[in-house]
Amino acid sequence: MSETTNAIDAIAAPVSSPGEKFFPKFEVTPELVAKAQELVALYPEGKEQSAVLPIIHHIQEEFGYVCPEAMPWIAEMCKSTAIHVAGIVTFYPGIHRKCPGKFHFRVCRTIACALSGGEELLPYICSKMGVDPAEMTDEEPMVVSPDGLWSLEAVECLANCGFGPNVMVNDVLHSQVTRGKIDDIMAACKKELAAERKEAAAAKKEAAAARREARAAAAAEAAEATEPTAEEPVAKKTAAKKAPAKKAAPKKK
Amino acid sequence: MSNNPTILPKDAAAAEGKVNVQINGKWYRFPKGTRIADACNSVGVHVPCFCYHPKLSVAGSCRMCLVEQGMPPRLAPGATPTYGEDGYQPIQWMPRAVIACANTVAENMGIRTDSKLTSEARRGVLEFLLTNHPLDCPICDQAGECKLQEYTTDYGSGTHRFTESKTKKGKNLSIGPRVNLDQERCVLCRRCVRFMKEIVGEEVLGVVGRGTHNAIACYPGTSLDSNYSMNVVDICPVGAMTSKDFRFKMRVWFLKSTPTIDVNCGTGTNINIWTREQQVYRITPRQNDEVNSCWMPDSHRLNYKYINAPERILTPMVKTDHGAPQRPSTWDATLNMVVEQLHSCAPTETAIICSARMTNEELYMVRALARQLGVTKIDIVPRKGENDGLLVSDDRNPNTNGAKLILGKNGSGLPAIRRGIKNNSIRFLIALGEDVTEEAGLEAEDLEALDYILAMSHSENATTKVADVVLPSVTFAEKYGTMINVAGRIQRLNKAIEPQGESRPDWDILRQLTEMLGCDCPRVIACPSPMIILEEMAQEFEPLKGLTWGSIGNGGIVIMDTGVTIPLIEREKGKK
Amino acid sequence: MSEITYKPGKEPHPRETRRIFRNIDREGYDPSIKCFMKDGGYQTLKKCLKMEPADITNEVKKSGLRGRGGAGFPTGVKWTFIPKGNTKPVYLVCNCDESEPGTFKDRFIVHQDPHQLIEGMIIACYAVQAHYAVIYMREEFPEAARIMQNALQEAEEKNFLGKNIQGSGFDLKIVLHRGAGAYICGEETGLINSIEGVRPYPRIKPPFFPAAIGLYGCPTIVNNVESLCQVRQVMMMGGEAYAAEGAQRSPGTRIIGVSGDVKRPGVYEIISGSITYGELLYDICGGPRIGRKFKAIIPGGASAKVMRCDEILKDRNPDGTVREMTIFDVPMDLDSIAKFGSMSGSGGVIVMDDTRSMPKVLNNLNRFFAWESCGQCSPCREGNPWMYKLSTRICEGKGAPEDVDLLKSVADNICGRTVCAFGEACSWPTQAFTTKFREEFLALTKPINALKPHSAETAEARKFLTRED
C-alpha cells in the first residue's frame, strides 16, 4: 500500500499495470452473469458463497485480474458482501489485484527449487523482461514489464519438487529450467504473440473488407438508409485468453 | 478404592447433571457442557481471553486462554478404573496445553492455570502479540482497561526480545461515523467481525490480507454505521476500536462508573455511566441477559450530552407578571408563589401533562399532587417509534408501564387535554418533565392562550420558555428511582452525579409542593427518599408487593406479565 | 504386468512396485476413460456397488490403509467417525492441494490417470453414502483441472457419476473446486472453509472434527488423492491381501518423491517399509552428485524435522539390546522415522549435500512458512515473520550468538499452541535445524551484533541515545 492511500481505501484502490492492454476491461455482460450463475449452481442450495473462488478464477481468465469493481459484483452473485470477497481476494496469492502481463511467469523459490537454482533465475528473467528485481518484495512478489508483455512472480512450491527449477508460464509448467530454456520460452512467447497479432490483423482486415463491402452493397442497393455495420469486437479477440496449452505434460522430458 | 461405601463423586455429580473438575488442585462441580474458561472464572480462577466472548461464536484463535489439562488415564480394554482415597481417578496431565474457551469440562478432568506449562504458553502468546503492537499506551484511549496491558502485567515476561522491524498497518482510520480503527493495535481476535455478523446481522467488517498483514477493515465506500457500531469499541480488548466521542477525552482510571439504566426507550438497557467531577464522559452497556445482553444502541449511548449542557436550567425561574420576562429566583420564594398561584387555578380548568420518562416514585408524587389539587385531567405523553428488531423498543418512553400502574394512565387521555387547551376549557397547565410542544402536539399559540403554565424540566425548551414558573429538575443521571420496562421488569436508576446547580430531584420538588399545598398524608410528605417511596408504593400496588430497593438489585425483577419481549434477547435465548 | 511398457527414460526402477503409478508415464496411455476402461478401469467400482457400503468400510479398515496426506490416520477408521444416526447429508472431499514442499506425487495421478482417482472417490462416496463430493485442486494445476473436468464429464456420460450409477440406485455428483495458492488449504478444515467460500482459516477441533461437523456443517470425509486411489487398490486386492504386504502398521505401497541433491530425483512407488532411506537414496536415486556427500535429509516434506546423515540413531532391538544406526538404515514406512523424532509425512524426501548452508536452507523454509501462515492465531501469525526475520539476519551475518537460541525459543513458543498443525509444521524445521546444525548458525554470528540496532526504527531511536563523535 502506498504511503498516501489509507489502508482501507487501498483494498479497492485500482493498481494500474501495463499488462492491462492485453486483456479486456472488466465489464458485466449477460454472458458473465450467466457463467457466474452456472458456477453458483454447482454448489448446494443456499451455499452460493462457495462460488466465490470459481467466479474469481473465471474473472482472472477473462480479464487477467480481479479489479476493484469486480469485488462487489462477485459479492452480489454469491449473496455475500464486498468486504467478505475482499477478504478472500486479499488472502490468496493466486488471485491478482494487479493485471499480470500477457505472459505471466511464476518462478518457484521454495526449498527444492531453491536447491536447484530457482532463485538465481529471478534476476536473469528480470533483466530479460526489463524489470527491476528490487520491485519484487516479500509483500508484493509480482512485477510487470513496462510493455505489459511480461510479468514475473516469485511463488512458493509448484509441487514438482524433483524436477526443479520449475517455472510456470501462464498455465504451462516448465521444469528443470535453465537460462537457455528461459530464452527459448520467451522466444516462443514472442512467436506466439506475433502469430496472434498476424491473425488479429488479418481478422481486422477481413472485417474491414466486409464492412466496406457491406457499405458498398448498402449504398448500391438502397439510398434510403446507410446504417453502419455493427463493429466487430476484433480487438477484444486478440486480447482474449491465450489458447489453452494443449499438450502440456506436467513434467517435461 | 477406599472402603468408603458412600457414593463416588462422579456418580454424585452425574445425578445432578454435573461433572467433577479439579482446578489448581481443588475439586469443583460444574454443569456438563460448561466451557473450561467459564468454569474457571466462576470459581475465581482467572483465565485470560482475547477472542472469547460468551455472547459470540467461539473463534479459539488468540490462544491466550491456553491451560494445562489432564484426564484420567485411558484404560486398557477390560480394565477397571482405579479411584484414590478421595474417590477420584488419578489425572494424567497432557503435554500440550488446550484452549479453555472451546473445550468443555468433563468428568475427572484436571485444569492447571498456575503450572509452568500454562504460564509459559501465556507468556509466549503475549510476547507474540506485542511484537507488532505499537507501544503507544500513553496516548491510547484503551489504556487502563486494555486486556493486553492487563495480561502483560499479570502474565507477561517483563522484558522484550523482539528487536526486528514491525509490520506496518493502517492507523487512525475512520471506519464509521462513531468508530476509529487502529490496525496496528489490533490483536485480530475478530470479536468486532463476529459481533457485526452474528448479533447485528450486517457483515460490514472483515479481515483482509494474510498472515502478519491480516487486518480488520470495512469495504471502501461502506462504513460501520450501524446503530450498534459502538459495541465493537466495548468488546475490543485492546485500543484498536476507539469511540470518536470519547477519543482523548479522559483517562479511564479517573472515571467512576455507576450502574444504572438507559431511559431512551422501553427496553431499559442496563448501563454504566462514567463520570468525573459531576461530568458525564461516556455510557457503556452493562450486561443483563434478560434485558440487553451485553449491548446497547449508539443512539441511546450518545444521548447524554444534555446532562452537562448549557441548556440546563440551574435555578427556579419565575415571571412576576404575566407579560414579564422570566427571572431567576430562589426555591422558597418560587414554591410559595406556585402554591399561591395553584390555589387560584380552578381544578376543572387545570390539566397535568406528566411523563412516562419519570420514575415510579416521581409518578407517585405526581399522583399525590393531582389529588391534592383535585385535578383529574392528567395523562402522560405517549412516544412511539419503530422497533429495530434488536434492542430499541417501539415504546420510546422508558416507564410507560409505571405510568399505567401508578397513574392508571397510558396517554389515551392526552387528546382530550389537548382539545381542552385548544378550546380554552383548560386554562391552567402543569407540564411535568415534558415539552408539550413536541409529542404532546400543542402549538406555541396554544400555550400563548393559556392563563398559566407551570413547568418542571431539567433543560430549556419551548414550554419552559413561555412558562410562568419553571422548576429545575434533574436528568436520569442525577437521581434514584425505579422504572418498569416493556417486558414488565422493574429496574433501578442510580445517581451518578449530583444535581446540577440548584436543580432538585423531581420527586422531592413534587413532594414539597404537595406538602405546601396542604397535604398532610404522611405516606406522601414524610418520604425522605425514593427508596422509602418505593416501600410506600409496595404497600399499595399489587405488582410491587414486597419489593424493596435492595431486593430489586442491579438486574431488576419481573413484576408483571406484559406479553412484550425484547427481540435480541429472544434470539439469544433461542440459540442456546 | 510384463505387457506394460513405459516411455523411454521413464521406466520404473526395479525396486519399485507400481500400483497407483501403474499408468504413469506408460507408453500409449492417455487420461481418457476409454484408455482407463480398456485397462480394467471401473470394474472394481461395479463390484463395490453390489456390496453393502458398510462392508466396503470394513474392508478398508481390514486393509490397515493409512492416509497418505501426511498425518497417516487410518482411512477406514476415519470413515466410521460419521456420527451414528446422522440425518444430514454426508460429503466427501478429495484433498488435491498437494502443498507440502517436497511432495509431488498427486500431480501425476491427476494429470495422467484421473479416472483412477474418480473411481476411488466413487467407491469411497458409496461406502460413506455421500452423494456430493468435491475435488479440491490447487490453483497451480490448471492443466490438471481441465483434464479432471473432462474426466468427470466422461465418467458422467458413462453413468459412473450422476443418477442411479450403473443401476445401483446410488447417486453422486462430483464438483471440481480450485484453490488459489494457499498452503493452509491443505489442512482439511482450512480446505473446507475454502470450499465454503470463506477465508480458509483452519477450524478449532473440537468441535469441528470434519467427520462430525465439516463442509456446510455436515459430516465430511476428507481424503488425500493417493489415499482414495489406494482405496480402489484395497477393493481390487481385498483388504486382507492388502494388509499382508509391506510394513505391518502401514501396509501397501507408498509413493516417495525425492528432491534436492541426488543424482536421480523423482517419484518412486515402493512397498511400504521394503527399503531403507539408504537404499532409496543410493540405489534408486543414484547417490549424491559426483564429489559430494549427503549431509542432511528432510524425510517427510518441508515441515518434517531434518535428520543429519552422520547422526547416530539408537534403536532398541526386540531382545532389548541397543542397536546403533544412521538415517540410511531406517526403513521407509510411516512410523520408523518417528522413533527418531521426525516424520515420514506425505513422502517427500528432500536431500541436501555438503555444499549446502543449513541456515540458508532454514531461512528459505522460514520465508515459506511466514508467507503461508494464514494469520488466524497469534503465535503463528506473529511468530513466523519473527523467525524469518531472525534467520534472515543470521544469514546476512548480522546475528548475534544469542539470536540462535532466540530463534529456537520462538519456535518452541509456537509449537503446540496453534489452532492447526501448521504451528508444528513451521516450528519443527527451526527447532531441528538450530539444534542439529547449531555450529553452522553460530559460525555466522558475531557477539557485537547484539549491540547493533536491527531495524530502522531502533537505529533512529539510538541516534538520541548514543553520542557519535
User: A173 contacts in C (CB within 8 Å)?
Assistant: 143
Q: Which residue of B60, B95, B214 is in closest CB contact with C381?
A: B214
Q: How far apart are CA A139 and CA A154, in angstroms?
A: 11
Q: Is pLDDT of C437 > 50?
A: yes
What whole-number percentage of chain A has pLDDT above 90?
72
Query: Hey, is the C-beta of A80 within 8 angstroms of any chain B C-beta?
Result: yes
Inter-chain touch B219–A91, beta carbons under 8 Å: no
- Interface contact flag, B63 C370, Cβ < 8 Å: no
Mutate to test the interface with C, among A84, A107, A136, A156 (most CBs of C within 10 A): A156
Domain spanning C33-243, CATH architecture: 3-Layer(aba) Sandwich (3.40)
- Could you report the per-residue pLDDT of A21-65, keeping only the tens digit for each? 999 999 999 999 999 999 999 999 999 999 999 999 999 999 999
The whole-angstrom distance between B60's CA and the closest CA on chain C is 6
**Beta carbons within 10 angstroms of residue B158's beta carbon:** 7
Q: Where are the domains of chain C?
A: 33-243, 253-353, 358-451
- Nearest residue of A to residue C111 by CA position? A250
Q: Are strands B377-380 and B350-354 parallel, antiparallel or unpaired?
A: parallel
pLDDT at C467: 61
| Minimal-distance CA residue of chain B relative to C373 | B211
CB B263 within 8 A of CB B483: yes
Q: Please judge whether B188 and C378 are an interchain contact, meaning their C-beta atoms are less than 8 angstroms apart.
A: yes
Residue-wise pLDDT for C8-44, tens only, equals: 999 999 999 999 999 999 999 999 999 999 999 999 9
Query: Which residues of C fall within a CB distance of 8 Å from B60?
Result: 204, 377, 419
Its CATH architecture, for the domain A2-91, is: Orthogonal Bundle (1.10)
Per-residue pLDDT tens, chain B, 576 aa: give them: 444 557 899 999 999 999 999 999 999 999 999 999 999 999 999 999 999 999 999 999 999 999 999 999 998 888 888 999 999 999 999 999 999 999 999 999 999 999 999 999 999 999 999 999 998 999 999 999 999 999 999 999 888 899 999 999 999 999 999 999 999 999 999 999 999 999 999 999 999 999 999 999 999 999 999 999 999 999 999 999 999 999 999 999 999 999 999 999 999 999 999 999 999 999 999 999 999 999 999 999 999 999 999 999 999 999 987 778 999 999 999 999 999 999 999 999 999 999 999 999 999 999 999 999 999 999 999 999 999 999 999 999 999 999 999 999 999 999 999 999 999 999 999 999 999 999 999 999 999 999 999 999 999 999 999 999 999 999 999 999 999 999 999 999 999 999 999 999 999 999 999 999 999 998 889 999 999 999 999 999 999 999 999 999 999 999 999 999 999 999 999 986
A155, A95 Cβ separation under 8 angstroms = no
Q: For position C426, what pLDDT does the model report?
A: 96
Q: Which residue of B has its CA nearest to A90?
A: B209
Average pLDDT, chain C: 94
Of all residues in chain C, the one with the smallest CA distance to A244 is C143
Partner-chain contact A7 B170, CB within 8 Å = yes
pLDDT at C188: 94
Domain-wise residue ranges, chain A: 2-91, 103-194
A163-188 average pLDDT score: 95
Chains sharing 3 or more CB pairs under 8 A with chain B: A, C
Evaluate if residue A228 carries a pLDDT over 60. Answer: no
Neighbours, chain A (3 or more CB pairs < 8 A): B, C
B277 and B225 Cβ atoms separated by less than 8 Å: no
Q: Which residue has the cell 495480561?
A: B151
Q: Nearest 5 degrees, angle CA B59-CA B60-CA B62?
A: 105
What pLDDT sits at residue A4?
57
| Chain A neighbors of C194, CB-CB under 8 A | 53
Give the residue from B66, B94, B182 showing the smallest Cα distance to B132.
B182
Does the beta-carbon distance from A7 to B219 stay under 8 Å? no
pLDDT at residue A251, rounded to an integer: 43
Q: What pLDDT sits at residue B135?
A: 87
Asked if C417 and B124 come within 8 Å (Cβ–Cβ), the reply is: yes
- All residues of chain C having their beta carbon less than 8 Å from the beta carbon of residue B162 are 386
Please give the average per-residue pLDDT across A2-15, as a whole number: 82
| Residue predicted with more confidence, A5 or B264 | B264
Least CB-CB distance to B212: which of C199, C375, C390? C375
Q: What is the pLDDT of residue A2?
A: 44
- Suggest the residue from B186, B208, B222 to mutate for an interface test with chain A (most A CBs closer than 10 A): B208
DSSP string, B429-457: EEEES--TTTTT---HHHHHH-SEEEEEE
DSSP, res A135: G
CB contact under 8 A, C144 and A250: yes
Average pLDDT, chain A: 86
**Spatial CA neighbour of A48 closest among A78, A83, A81:** A78
Cα of B36 to nearest chain C Cα, Å = 13
pLDDT of residue C294: 96
Domain A103-194 has CATH 3.40.50.850: no
Please say if the pLDDT value at position A235 is more than 50. no
Q: Which of A92, A138, A160 sits opposite C181 (nearest CB)?
A: A92
Chains linked to C by 3 or more Cβ pairs within 8 Å? A, B
CB distance A11–B170 less than 8 Å?
Answer: no
CB–CB contact A111 C182 (8 Å): no
Is there a contact between B141 and B70 (Cβ–Cβ < 8 Å)?
no
Do the chains contact at B209 and C453, CB–CB below 8 Å? no
B270-276 and B256-261 strand pairing: antiparallel
Q: Do B132 and C382 touch (CB under 8 A)?
A: yes
A207 phi and psi angles, rounded to 5 deg: -65, -40
Class of domain C253-353: alpha beta
Cβ contact, residue pair C378, B60, below 8 Å:
no
What ipTM is given for this predicted complex?
0.94
Could C179 and A161 be called an inter-chain contact, meaning their C-beta atoms sit closer than 8 Å?
Answer: no
Residue among A47, A53, A109 minimizing CB distance to C194: A53
Q: Calculate mean pLDDT across residues C397-420.
A: 96
Q: Which of A6, A72, A83 sits opposite B173 (nearest CB)?
A: A6
3-class secondary structure, B505: coil
Rounded percentage of chain C residues whose pLDDT exceeds 90: 91
Cβ pair A50, C195 in contact under 8 A = yes
Kindly report which listed range (A213-217, C315-319, C353-357) carries the lowest average pLDDT score. Answer: A213-217
Classify domain C358-451 at the CATH class level: mainly alpha
Residues of A in contact with B240 (CB under 8 A): none
Q: What is the pLDDT of residue A223?
A: 65
Dist CA B272 CA B282 (whole Å): 8
Q: How far apart are CA A12 and CA A7, in angstroms?
A: 10
Q: C56, C235 in Cβ contact below 8 A? A: yes
Per-residue pLDDT reduced to its tens digit, A76-106: 999 999 999 999 999 999 999 999 999 999 9
- Higher model confidence: residue A238 or residue B288? B288
Separation of alpha carbons B147 and B145, rounded Å:
6
Cβ A235 vs Cβ A196: under 8 Å: no
The dihedrals phi and psi of A134, each to the nearest 5 degrees, come to -65, -20
Nearest to C386 among B64, B121, B131 (CB): B131
